[in-house]
Amino acid sequence: MEPNGTIHSCCLDSTVWKVTISLILTTLILITIAGNVVVCLAVSLNRRLRSLTNCFIVSLAATDLLLGLLVLPFSAIYQLSFKWTFGRVFCSIYTSLDVMLCTASILNLFMISLDRYCAVTDPLRYPVLVTPVRVAISLVFIWVISITLSFLSIHLGWNSRNETRGDNDTSKCKVQVNEVYGLVDGLVTFYLPLLIMCVTYYRIFKIAREQAKRINHIGSWKAATIREHKATVTLAAVMGAFIICWFPYFTTFVYRGLRGDDAINEVVEGIVLWLGYANSALNPILYAAFNRDFRMAYQQLFCCKLASHNPYKSSLRLNSSLLSRNQSREVRWQEEKPLKLQVWSRKEITPPQGTPDRRPALSCNTCSNNLLSCCKSLWGLRFLRQHPEGASEEQSGELQSEKAERIPSQEEMRALPCEVV
């Protein structure tokens, strides 16, 4: 009974372990895909983000997105079962895609560090140094190196050992590493970019501290401290994530090249491999969310989605906006409506209340001089002929609507007296 209970507990532990690992890997894959999709959408929908500076960030997001779609699901299946069931041909394609996309992701991070170094150290010459042609050449350089170290090397057998070249074991699928390939791939892909990135980000950090000290001398001490703290946190997060995620993998990768493919335990190899994959999930946060323009684009993107999911609120907002527009148009129409003066013979009345009076204040002299022009604009010839000075108020009120039928000529108006108030 005891052995059966022991076996049952071992199976339960194994099942729980596989379920836990599968949940962690699935969450990591979803975060990688969703984060990089959001970065691509933000750049495609926001014109402000379409700049040369963000070309490398878009390239990084596209590379990590392809890694999450084409490589990580098969890596998760292989990691959970420890058995490759998709054939040798697809294993060669899978390993080539894995090496190519991981190499392209690291080289994009390297180019981002160089771009920020040029922008911070020499901002005046930055438009001259970073041109569309040079950015395009840099992207081509990234993918040429990635394809050379992946598809070309693996399909030509440059990474294989002589004793394992004829290995036909279909249950395993991982990149074979010899001494030369391990050293070259490790130096070109990781160690040299890491060294240059450390130098560039250290220079950027020094410049940020100098700017903070200048602010401290000029302005408040608190603002300088906050600026220096933000620069320190940002650079520490960028470099810390890159080193923590990729340094263990490339260390074991070079060690495998020196000692053999079976020198590292499969569990340890799987942990360091997925630790490197985790950098693709962190890149959208480190290189996009720390940017103010990207944060604003994320907010606009998510706000549009929330508004589209709530049509009742969006309709209320639309109705309120239309109502405010109509009210503003009515007010504007009332303000711009021409002033209608009531003209009576030998009678003084004021304009109706609520009508804005835009007439200039006229003195007695100016009113007498402009009397004929006022009569010309306000009276009709028929009304003036049929109703002389002694007309009553009621008759003049009935015929007031006929005042705009015909405008009399200057000769006709000169002989007609009138009074305008």
Residues 257 and 405 in one domain: no
Tokens 């250290």 — which residue? 202
> Coil, strand or helix: which one is 229?
helix
Who contacts 196 (Cβ-Cβ below 8 Å, separation ≥6)? 110, 113, 114
Q: Are residues 109 and 218 in the same domain?
A: yes
Tell me whether residue 314 is in a domain: no
One domain, residues 281 and 404: no
Closest CA to 325 of 313, 337, 333, 314: 333
Assess whether 100 and 233 both reside in one domain: yes
331 assigned to some structural domain: no
CATH code assigned at 207? 1.20.1070.10
Domain span at 413: 339-421
pLDDT at 235 exceeding the cut of 50: yes
351 and 407 part of one domain: yes
278 and 344 assigned to the same domain: no
Q: With beta carbons less than 8 A apart as the criterion, state whether 212 and 224 touch.
A: yes
Kindly report the length of the chain. Answer: 421
Q: Name residue 197's amino acid.
A: M
Same domain for 44 and 166?
yes
The mean of the pLDDT values for the chain is 75
**pLDDT value at 391 more than 50:** no
pLDDT of 282 higher than 80? yes
169 found inside a domain: yes
CA gap 56, 61 in Å, rounded: 9
User: Is the same domain home to 96 and 222?
Assistant: yes
Residue 316 covered by a domain: no
106 close to 186: Cβ distance less than 8 angstroms:
no
Q: Which amino acid is at 311?
A: P
Tell whether 239 and 290 lie within a shared domain.
Answer: yes
d(C-alpha 263, C-alpha 259), whole Å: 6
Of 289, 309, 329, which one is at a domain's C-terminal end?
A: 309
Give the per-residue pLDDT at 338. Answer: 45
Q: Is 416 helix (H, G, I), strand (E, B) or coil?
A: coil
**Using CA atoms, how far apart are residues 112 and 53, in angstroms rounded to an integer?**
8
Instruction: Work out the pLDDT band at 152, boundaries 50, 70, 90.
Output: very high
Residue 332, in any domain of the structure: no
DSSP track, 268-337: HHHHHHHHHHHHHHHHHIIIIITSHHHHHHHHHHHHHHHHHH-HHHHHHHHHHHHHHHHHHHHHHHHHHS
The answer to the question of residue 8 being in a domain is: no
100-104, 128-132, 325-329, 358-362: range with lowest mean pLDDT: 358-362
Number of domains in the chain: 2
pLDDT band at 286 (very low <50, low <70, confident <90, very high): confident
The answer to whether the CB of 84 falls within 8 A of the CB of 172 is yes
Nearest CA to 288 out of 300, 297, 279 is that of 297
135 and 235 assigned to the same domain: yes
- 100 and 155 both lie in a single domain: yes
As a whole number of angstroms, the distance between CA 108 and CA 115 comes to 10
Residue 136's pLDDT band (cuts 50, 70, 90) = very high
Let me know if residue 47 belongs to a domain.
yes
The answer to whether residue 15 is domain-embedded is no
pLDDT for 108 equals: 94
Residues 57 and 98 in one domain: yes
Please give the average per-residue pLDDT across 327-355, as a whole number: 46
